[in-house]
Amino acid sequence: MPICTVSYSHKGDMIYGGGADGSVQVWDVRSNNLYRPQVLYRDAHAPNCEVTGLQMFRDSIRFASRSMDDTLKLWDIRK
């Protein structure tokens, strides 16, 4: 699954990626394993609807994602 959009947290310790399949993935760069995301939302948006934008809040916990399914969603990685 290709990543279509990427954004970084304000501190630079988290990488957020939006996939062509509608998923959203979050990697913690402080982790030793960057091959797998620490947080994965497989069904973040409708299947096969590309995520076109990601915007982080300053707390590095909440973020917004936009997709080709005409939705904008707010997320909290603690849940």
Distance of CA 37 to the CA centre of its chain: 10
Count of C-beta atoms within a 10 Å radius of residue 43: 10
Residues 40, 45, 1, 57, Cα dihedral to 10° = -50
What pLDDT, on the 0 to 100 scale, is given for residue 72? Answer: 97
Sign of CA dihedral 51, 71, 14, 56: positive
What pLDDT, on the 0 to 100 scale, is given for residue 79? Answer: 76
Question: How many domains does the chain contain in total?
Answer: 1
Query: Which residue range(s) make up the domain with 49?
Result: 3-76
Q: What is the mean pLDDT of each run of 10 residues along the chain (79 residues)?
A: 90 92 93 86 94 92 94 91
Query: Residue 71 maps to which CATH number?
Result: 2.40.10
What pLDDT, on the 0 to 100 scale, is given for residue 59? Answer: 87
What pLDDT, on the 0 to 100 scale, is given for residue 22? Answer: 96
Contact 52, 18 (CB under 8 A): yes
What pLDDT, on the 0 to 100 scale, is given for residue 65? Answer: 97
